[in-house]
Amino acid sequence: MKNHLTYALLMLTMPILLTPFLSTPSIANEFEVSGKIGLEARYFFQQAQFSEQNGQSNLSVFVEPELYWNWNNEDDSLIFKPYLRDDQHDSQRSHGDIRELTWTHVGNDWELRTGINKVYWGVTEFQHLVDVINQTDSVEDIDGEDKLGQQMINLSLVRDWGIVDILVMPGFRERTFAGQKGRLRSGLVVNTSKAEYQASAGQQHVDYALRWTTSIGDFDIGTSYFNGTNRDPLFNVASVFSAQSQQATGLELTPYYVLMEQVSVDIQATLGDWLWKVEGLYRDTNSQNYWASQVGFEYTRVGVFDSAIDIGYLVEYGWDSRGENIAVINQNDVFFGSRIAFNDVQSSEILWGAGVDLDHNAQSIIVEASRRLGDSYKLSLDVRFFNSKNVQDILTQLDQDDHIQLTLERYF
């Protein structure tokens, strides 16, 4: 609760602290306030798999304002985007974060971004394999789309032969996990307060990365190098002790974050109605070295049946050299789905996809649909189904967490 109050206080006081800058005409030329506030409702089709979890329904509210300033003929800008969620049952899902607090200065052929920011790498749809800069905010959703803000200094050099990004990250963000009462978690609760690190500096370890991107004809190419703390933790099983009797009362998981080096490449080729996508990496840690890849395509039919509707067909394959004995979902999996864009005034769209684990005979299905309501509202529908009976497959932990989620957002 103390952390939540701290974030809330930051959100309330930041505009006050920056008022002197805003009131000086020579410094602040433009100030904009926007953002969104939302209500989310989840309903699980089955009773909870683990006894401590909450029931079949859950409500939460969230707010994400965005404050933007620019000055110096727009060569300098500041963006502040805090985030806060309050969840009905899971205290770990009730949390706050600063998604962005970044000052950007634009030069003739370079840009410098300093503060807290979000950086995305990659091209594939169903797994963001090479995207390693920001930590996953997994209490928001399990699809890996939501990220925590990352402290960084990011220098971008713009050249005729491509863009070079140099990133220095002084500080590490731990992954969020559902609490004891939360759904969409493993059978053993992750105790984030007991996280351990290979780096002697712990969370203060300085990470760095280098990335080069360019376009050659129909190909968009990115190559990257990362050196720092692995965003994907390992887990140790530990005993839980009673505060009164000092007797072991159960087991829990504690995260362990190792150091790693990663070299990666991502390529997207736009060939007519086809998008061909490749992501690949080699990751080196003190315990294991491995290769992984995600490859696939998206074919889009524009204006089907002489209408405004576009339909895209997606197929991808994920592979990991560690095989089925490692606790990752996409070690030998096929994904297929479809994206439907109605191209109407309400920006209606539907994305559905299915994943099949070829080793464990497990399946998962996702449906994501959204539609604007008027000028200020957006309604989203998300559906998740999981099917896994193989105890070696980590998806088994979610086998009874099939659910539907309805989200109403108001933009301002």
Model's pTM, two decimal places?
A: 0.89
Which amino acid, one-letter code, is at 256? Y
C-beta contacts of 6-12 below 8 A and 24+ residues apart:
6/96, 7/82, 7/84, 7/95, 7/96, 7/97, 7/98, 8/84, 8/96, 10/82, 10/98, 11/65, 11/82, 11/84, 11/96
pLDDT at residue 14 tops 60: no
Q: Note the pLDDT of residue 25.
A: 47
DSSP code for 258: P
Chain-centroid distance of CA 91 in Å reads: 20
pLDDT at residue 195 tops 60: yes
Domain boundaries, the chain: 2-411
Q: Supply the mean pLDDT for the chain.
A: 91
> For residues 284 and 288, what is the distance between their CA atoms, to the nearest angstrom?
6
What superfamily would CATH give domain 2-411? Porin (2.40.160.10)
337 phi, psi to nearest 5 deg = -175, -165
Q: For residue 354, what are the contacts with CB-CB under 8 A and spacing of at least 6?
A: 335, 336, 337, 363, 364, 365, 366
pLDDT at residue 6 tops 90: no
| Chain position carrying tokens 């965003």 | 231
Q: Note the pLDDT of residue 151.
A: 98
Query: pLDDT tens digits for 326-376?
Result: 767 788 999 999 999 999 999 999 999 999 999 888 999 999 999 999 999
Q: Above pLDDT 70, what percent of the chain?
A: 92
pLDDT at residue 318 tops 70: yes
Tokens of 245: 């009797």
Q: Note the pLDDT of residue 13.
A: 43
- Tell me which residue of 57, 56, 42, 47 sits closest to 140, measured CA to CA: 42
Query: pLDDT tens digits for 101-150?
Result: 999 999 999 999 999 999 999 999 999 999 999 999 999 999 999 999 99
Query: pLDDT tens digits for 268-303?
Result: 999 999 999 999 999 999 988 999 999 999 999 999
Q: Note the pLDDT of residue 250.
A: 86
Q: For residue 22, what are the contacts with CB-CB under 8 A and spacing of at least 6?
A: 28, 31, 69
